[in-house]
Amino acid sequence: MDFKSFKEMLKRIFFVIFTGAVLACHAAPKPQPVVEGITNIKPDQQQQLVIKEVVNLIESYNYKKIQINDSISSIILDRYIKSLDQGKNYFLASDIKEFEKYRYTLDDDFKNGDLSGPFYIYNVYAKRLNDYFSYSLAQIKTKFDFNQNDTYVYDREKLPWAVSSAALNDTWKKRVKYELINLNLAGTPEAKNVETLTKRYQNLQSQTSKMNNQDVFQILMDAFTESIDPHTNYFNPTNAAAFNEDMSRSFEGIGARLQLENEVVKISEIIAGGPAFKGKQLSAGDRIIAVAQGDGEFVDVVGWRLDNTVAKIKGPKGTKVRLKVIPVGKEMSSKPVIIELVRDKIVLEETSAKKKVKTISSNGKDIKIGIITLPAFYADFKAANAGDKNYKSTTRDVRKLIDSLKNYDKVNAIVMDLRGNGGGSLVEAISLTGLFIDRGPVVQVKDLRGKIEVDEDENSGVVWDGPLGVMVDRLSASASEIFAGAIQDYGRGIIMGSQTYGKGTVQSSIDLNKLVNPSMLQRVAGLISKDKTVGTSPSGTNPADVNLGQINLTMAKFYRVAGSSTQHKGVTPDVVFPSIYPMDKIGEDTEPSALPWDVIPSSNFKAVANLTAVKAQLTKNSEQRIANSLDFKYLKQDMADLKKRDTEVSVTLNEAKLKAERDAQEAKALARQNELRALRGLPAIKKGDKVTKKDAFDFIEDESLKVMGDFMQQSGNYVMNLGAMPKNN
């Protein structure tokens, strides 16, 4: 049975388990303790169902084959508390002591659909948060002495929990003082700073009051799934939609990015090509105060949560939405403008693959290098399944860019820039590799039964047969590591940068709604409509209103064609540069619940070249340049400074001292910047001058291109067999 068939089998099993569990979801949870002084948030029937089924799925089908027991319960509790209060600024020692009663019961509670404990913990947190915000608002008008030599401990993570509210009040008072000092150092009048900080805390308090049970459930589920492994994740309906939009690089709506400012939704950006862009009636800075569907009544959205307003504005392609807008520059009391738009499909081109061409000189010879920047491995599976021949995908986009680089730009080499690329579609990683190698294995996948499947590029020929480089860094993960690992194992190109993230697991996205038959959804909808808890999910008796969310379940592990897992260890570049990210803070090997590294037998693949000798010389040349590079020298200094700052937990509240420290840091940064600008023939800048994008210099990219120049100079040292080039199609 192949991997696809195996997943179909699991889907059928999921259906049986899920449907059966719905019938047994009526057991009443324990009464949830009430926290006085706030509106308590409670879970709904839908969430009680989801938690039970996620436990079932994890215990039955997660790659780790793990059981949810007392040990896992303890880890979940610690993670949950930490996610709410990592800096120990809200909970008291007495709270933590009380929460201990849940340490070894969450496993049983989750299996019974009982969420009363975690929701009670959140309500205690919300009460503490509200109290400290109120206290801080009262302190803002205090006449502080900014000449004292006191300090603010901003990182209390390693300190004991505070024993009293009075102790934390002192911390919050010092936080207010620190924020006022920062505003003072910005040069604004003291009265204005008091007003600014007052609005800031009022806004924080308002946003906290808008938290609902979906938000709390998401925080809890993150703590739960991360206790199992770092990449098994549950997404509530809103987050699931965002995840799938990011994967497809498209959504349906008006084509505007929104943000919340002082309780009002503001347009931060108009997306090129969308209805808002084409209509030319909306501008960045415009504020939306009401929304109407088609010719329906307007609904006032001032004071709403941002995600709720976005949900009102988004909608299916071809439908009409009307907006009441206060144009940028106008007072909120101004008469609103009514704008009518027809929603359309928006393709996010700015987050898709892009190309540029750089010319370098190597041994007196000019070399044109095409750079393809790839932010993720994306694919619009919905459009593809619907038969759209122009559906959005990584491989389709990159193929077009290669054709342009090859036939129009006439480049001599291509570099794939995968820095910061966290992965995405496994299918796209395989097909993208196929643009550079002839048919053959690309990745091996071992499922939870231990069965190994070899996934291959089945298309003969290549799209680019010239010199190839791949840039990676610590944030290159998953599909990026599959692609880079295959290129490296085949000897098809040179990998440059720092060790990658080390995410070598495969997740299957499971839409929980699709595992329940309509009659069961009808029953759940009926239960939810009777559940009048605060911030509950959409109510009603229509099963279409019920959205159970999505789980990305770790069900397999992938391996390179040579047999090595990328899990934990990632891909080590052929030519290694110093990392701009702290290796001990970022990466799979920093995750306590991560799966281990291992090896399976090599697949039957044939390398196209042996680059061993070439790599040694490339590394030697690069190390010599890096040793003499001012950019890399400063990078190393920055990383050392970062490591030092990581040990600091407090800051002075003496304004003069803080200003002197800031001024010294700014002077150092300015002197360094001007030294680098002089090196590149750019004029010096003064304090406060803005640096334009055209002055930006990517020294990692620059060194990578120099490595490619060296690579091409040594191209006579190896023979590459890529197979026949394909005909144009």
Cα 340 to the chain's mean position, in Å?
Answer: 33
d(CA 211, CA 213): 7
Q: Nearest 5°: phi and psi at 426?
A: -65, -40
> How big is the CA angle at 350 (ends 344 and 354), to the nearest 5 degrees?
130
Catalytic site residue from 248, 250, 431, 478: 478
478 is catalytic: yes
CB 267 within 8 A of CB 283: yes
Rounded to whole angstroms, how far apart are CA atoms 501 and 420? 10
Torsional sign, CA 77, 83, 88, 94: negative
List the catalytic residue out of 42, 503, 615, 706.
503
The three-class DSSP label of residue 239 is helix
As a whole number of angstroms, the distance between CA 126 and CA 91 comes to 10
Tell me the two tokens of residue 198: 């007052």
Based on the residue annotation, tell me whether 503 is a catalytic residue of this protein.
Answer: yes
Q: For tokens 């965002």, what's the residue?
A: 242
| Residues 418 and 471: beta-carbon distance below 8 Å | yes
Residues sharing a CB contact under 8 Å with residue 354, sequence separation 6 or more, in sequence order = 372, 373, 401
Query: Can you state the angle between helices 190-209 and 165-185, rounded to 10 degrees?
Result: 130
DSSP string of 40-75, one letter each residue:
-----HHHHHHHHHHHHHHHHHSTT-----HHHHHH
Q: Among this protein's residues, is 489 annotated catalytic? A: yes
* CB-CB contact of 523 with 24 (8 Å): no
Length of the chain as a residue count: 729
**What are the φ/ψ torsions at residue 497 (nearest 5 degrees)?**
135, -145
Nearest to 719 by CA among 456, 430, 492, 437: 492
The residue annotated as part of the active site, out of 109, 457, 489, 574, is 489
Q: Rounded to 5 degrees, what angle do the CA atoms 334, 337, 340 make?
A: 160
Give yes or no for a contact between 567 and 460, defined as CB atoms under 8 angstroms apart: no
Catalytic residues: 478, 489, 503
